[in-house]
Amino acid sequence: MSIDPPTPHRWGTAAFAHARETRQPLLLCITRGPRAAHDLAHPPGFVVVRIDRDEQPALDRLCQLAHQLLTQSPGGWPLFVFFDASTELPFFSVAGTDAHGLPPASLLARIRAFHDAEPDTLAAQHAALRAAFADLRPPPASTATFDDAPLRAARQTLAAAFDFEHGGFVTTPKFVRPWLLERLLRDWRRSATGSTPDLQALYMVTMTLTRLAKSPMCTSSGAFHDHSTQADWSSPNASLTLGDNGALLALYAQTALATGEPEFTIVTRRLATALLRDWRLPDGAFATAFHGAARDDRALPIGNSQAIRGLVWAARTLRDAQFTDAAATALAALQQRYGAALPWSTTAGQAAGLEEHAALADAVLELLQQRWDPALHQFFESLLTMLRTEFEDPEAGGYFDLAPRHTQPKSFHDLKTFGDETMPAGNALLARVLRRSAAWSGDQTRDVSADRILALAWPALVRQPQAHATLLGVLEETLVRPEVLVLRGAGTEIENALLDLQRVYAPMRLVFAISDTER
């Protein structure tokens, strides 16, 4: 197969315009990790665009969905999606590579021949794809009566899927999924003041975290691998990601606070220290991943937001201000890297999606509770305003994964994601932020917006509650509204009061310590 030198194209209107001018299909190659994208060859006969899934997760999610509709099979990486330039719609998709990191040459030739010779078939396929996407769109949010049935159903489903021998959940490969364990920890806390505390939920969390910390999944540095190919955590993969480690840090810190067990406190400190020692970049932001010994020094918003949230929880549990300092420095570094204008843009030149901005808002809200900062509060308010202006669907409710006014070319499907995948869903994180900030600020429009997210997702939440762990937390805080405490007074006085309130695990409580000299 002849391999031409690569012609650089970014995902966007210019790439499609070039494809139309040259009468070629556009081939979008989606990989994980910058090295993988760089190593791909460039096949003749296509306008090639390469993206990294971690930099554009919303576009990847959309293309994975298109792949499932086109092929009736699951996707993965690398994923190759072929677009017709005139309609800007995908018409073929394939996962898998040859020696050049591409689909087989014979398949590429057939795809090009089909594109050029079968315009009527192509048009019919596009019509069918549009109809399939339309069928996936949930009906507009209506008035729903929320109850705790999904919370109870998820609790039962998670217990049925739990590995009582090794901890975690029965999957192959085996991922930790910290938000599922955080859901169980909150289930225990919900029941703790009643006559029958849910000790099994607490056991599932503590048993998993104990086994995990003593397994090869935990490195000598204190950080954790992505997943294991064996149920007993004995065969970890080579990668460590910031998002997973940030989420695990928050979970270990919460569990240490909830149980008072020293082993969880030790793991919390080791992991937080590892982030500061091994992952921190010169400006204070955090690297995205380790692939073996190689560090991926991109400071991507989602992973950094999870790390900031985890460091805030570590600071609370360990009562150690260095971790608050690190969280604040990382956030300032992100603001410096991505600029003052919202929405932020990715390194690929596209506007970052809902997932990135919602995770950021969630992290900022946690940091404000640990250390009030008027400038940070102003940034938080600007972030929420932008999200509601650019991402919210005012007619049907919920928030688009990609901002319609900032997405070029226009997305071929206005996707809204409510279920957690490799990270918590953007709509779920934002609903949590809206619900909590409404309780704090008194802005009822935020409550309404959170209600509309929950109502739009309600059928899916009832059908598969365990797939919506983060949104279940929003449901919990809808049925019983969060407690909000605002401490005012002299600096030392309110700092001591804040420390006293942080001695207990109270996930339904928000505390803000604002000195008399601050607004």
What is the per-residue pLDDT across 218-270, written as a single tens digit (0 to 9) for each? Answer: 999 999 999 999 999 999 999 999 999 999 999 999 999 999 999 999 999 99
Among residues 382, 376, 319, 386, the alpha carbon closest in space to that of 512 is found at: 376
Amino acid at 83: F
Report pLDDT for 36: 52
Report the distance separating Cα 316 and Cα 407, nearest Å.
39
**Across the chain, what does the average pLDDT equal?**
93
pLDDT in tens, 178-209: 999 999 999 999 999 889 999 999 999 999 99
Which residue(s) pair with 120 in the sheet?
A: none
CA atoms within 13 A on the CB side of 417: 26
The yes-or-no verdict on residue 467 having pLDDT over 60 is yes
Whether 251 contacts 306, CB under 8 Å: no
CA atoms within 13 A on the CB side of 241: 21
The yes-or-no verdict on residue 347 having pLDDT over 50 is yes
Q: Which two tokens stand for residue 93?
A: 């998709």
User: Which long-range contacts (C-beta less than 8 Å, at least 24 apart) are formed by 210-218?
Assistant: 210/167, 210/263, 211/166, 211/167, 211/168, 212/167, 212/168, 212/176, 213/263, 213/267, 217/176, 218/267
pTM to 2 decimal places: 0.95
| Structural domains for the chain | 13-136 (3.40.30.10), 167-324 (1.50.10.10), 339-479 (1.50.10.20), 482-519 (no CATH)
Phi, psi of 503 (to 5 degrees): -75, -15
Quote the Cα angle for 11-14-16, to 5°: 75
pLDDT in tens, 307-332: 999 999 999 999 999 999 999 999 99
Report pLDDT for 3: 41
Q: How many other C-beta atoms are found inside a 10 Å radius of the C-beta of residue 143?
A: 6
Amino acid at 16: F
Report the distance separating Cα 49 and Cα 406, nearest Å.
19
